[in-house]
């Protein structure tokens, strides 16, 4: 597992296009939300500022890394490396776990740079070094589960459908499943399995949207799929993180069988 982790991380981190795409998105985001950024830097509460930052990062950047991770598993077969790796005594599960964690870790590096860069800027300008501690907590509890959730689907689904099609569907899913208000149409947003993390953002960090008065998680009147939106509490926030990680593990566990379908 360690070998696959190290080398998958190295290969993904060397992908120049990943850095360029993240850079472009962040630059565009910076331009479009300059006022929000200024407001965040002026925010007196370090916790609120860091939570706003985490929400923004989790709302937009998964689209980038989800698309970039989409070829990581299928490319071994496409490149013709798979027979060499499969003929080694290393276990399939270990290699898969290493590949998954390595590519997710590499995808998380630009996020960490962007997010902690923001945290350092805030801490320096507002004089609140505690922002770094909040940023670390939010990164671990909100951003990383999203990376692991998205990473699992991005690795495994292209075993079923072509990677370009996955990317198109994934972008559609992302905005449908995370940004659409549940009263407009059936959607997964504001539910336990929304990877932007509405439950932990609201219940563990007290986030209430840019104005502070938005309900991010919990049942919504007149919405469908409310069974996925239990009352928002600290317990359901942790449950949400657990569900995201469990779904990721479940999806990942299907990979060997799906791969065998095409290679055997």
Partner 1 sequence: MRIEISGLVKTYKGKGRALDGLDLLVPTGMFGLLGANGAGKTTLMRILAGLLRPTGGEVRIGGYDVTGRAGRQAVQRVLGYLPQDLGVYPDLSAREFLDYVGLLKGIDDRATRRRRVGELLEVVALTGDADRRLRGYSGGMRRRVGIAQALLADPRLLIVDEPTAGLDPEERIRFRTLLSQLAGERTVLLSTHIVDDVAQTCRELAVLAKGRLVFRGTVDDLTRRADRRVWSVVTAGPAPTGGTVVSALPVEGGLRYRVVASVPPAPDAEPLAPTLEDGYLALAQPGAAEDAMRP
- Contacts to partner 1 by CB under 8 A: 2-4, 7, 10-11, 14-15, 79-90, 95, 263-264
In the complex, least distance from residue 78 CB atom to partner 1, rounded to whole angstroms: 8
In the complex, least distance from residue 259 CB atom to partner 1, rounded to whole angstroms: 11
Which of 11/132 has CB closer to partner 1?
Answer: 11
In the complex, least distance from residue 95 CB atom to partner 1, rounded to whole angstroms: 7
What contacts 78, CB < 8 A, 6 or more positions away?
71
In the complex, least distance from residue 159 CB atom to partner 1, rounded to whole angstroms: 17
- In Å, what is the CA distance from 97 to each residue of 40, 55, 93, 103, 135? 37, 28, 6, 10, 27
In the complex, least distance from residue 112 CB atom to partner 1, rounded to whole angstroms: 21
Q: How far apart are CA 135 and CA 82, in angstroms?
A: 39
Which of 163/220 has CB closer to partner 1?
Answer: 163
In the complex, least distance from residue 90 CB atom to partner 1, rounded to whole angstroms: 4
* Sign of the CA dihedral with 102 first, then 64, 237, and 239 last: negative
Question: b/e map of 90-112 (b: 16 or more CB within 10 Å)?
Answer: eeeeebbbbbbbbbbbbbbbbbb
Which of 81/185 has CB closer to partner 1?
Answer: 81
Burial of 132 (0-12, 13-18, 19+ CB in 10 A): middle
Which of 47/95 has CB closer to partner 1?
Answer: 95
In the complex, least distance from residue 75 CB atom to partner 1, rounded to whole angstroms: 9
Which of 62/102 has CB closer to partner 1?
Answer: 102
Which of 10/181 has CB closer to partner 1?
Answer: 10
Which of 41/85 has CB closer to partner 1?
Answer: 85
């Amino acid at each position: 597992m360690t070998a696959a982790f190290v080398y998958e991380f190295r290969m993904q981190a060397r992908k120049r296009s990943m850095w360029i795409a993240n850079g472009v998105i962040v630059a565009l985001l910076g331009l479009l939300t300059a006022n929000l950024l200024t407001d965040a830097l002026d925010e007196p509460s370090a916790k609120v500022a860091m939570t706003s930052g985490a929400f923004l990062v989790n709302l937009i950047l998964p689209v980038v890394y989800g698309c970039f991770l989409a070829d990581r598993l299928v490319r071994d077969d496409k490149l013709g490396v798979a027979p060499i790796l499969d003929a080694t005594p290393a276990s399939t599960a270990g290699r898969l776990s290493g590949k998954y964690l390595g590519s997710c870790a590499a995808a998380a590096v630009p996020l960490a740079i962007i997010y902690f860069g923001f945290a350092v800027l805030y801490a320096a300008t507002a004089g609140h070094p505690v922002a770094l501690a909040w940023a670390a907590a939010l990164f671990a509890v909100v951003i990383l589960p999203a990376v692991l959730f998205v990473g699992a689907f991005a690795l495994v689904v292209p075993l079923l459908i072509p990677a370009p099609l996955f990317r198109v569907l994934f972008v559609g899913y992302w905005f449908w499943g995370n940004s659409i208000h549940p009263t407009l149409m059936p959607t997964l947003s504001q539910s336990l399995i929304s990877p932007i993390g509405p439950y932990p953002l609201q219940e563990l960090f007290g986030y209430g949207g840019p104005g502070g008065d938005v309900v991010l998680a919990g049942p919504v009147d007149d919405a469908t799929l409310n069974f996925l939106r239990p009352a928002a509490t600290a317990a359901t926030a942790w449950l949400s993180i657990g569900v995201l990680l469990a779904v990721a593990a479940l999806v990942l566990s299907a990979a060997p069988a799906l791969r065998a379908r095409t290679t055997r």
